[in-house]
Structure 1
């Protein structure tokens, strides 16, 4: 994630968490539909790797949220 594009408000960070949750769900659904080791035809990223990348993004934004809104 690029720091300058991260939301600064409570509402913005909550919306970002919701967006990242949706991306995790989409990555999981792709794994279920096509298989964990299936690769994207253009990027060549495997579905399992995309899933882990999206999980990391979600964890990162949750950590930012918790650090700023205890």
Structure 2
């Protein structure tokens, strides 16, 4: 959902987590989450990136890192 180049980590939550659930936990706007999911070249600000990764960790119980999704 976030990056095709990171398929293994991407699939940790793709299909099981909804953008709305991530939005509720991360407090990141719908527009930003949509942009992150649709635009391969979009790099969110560090604070936004941290909020998204923290939300994914909370929802999956996995120790994902921002590097798993963005370079």
Give TM class, smaller chain: 0.3 to 0.5
TM-score, length-normalised on structure 2?
0.33
Larger radius of gyration: 1
With CA pairs under 8 Å and 6+ residues apart, which has the higher RCO, 1 or 2? Answer: 2
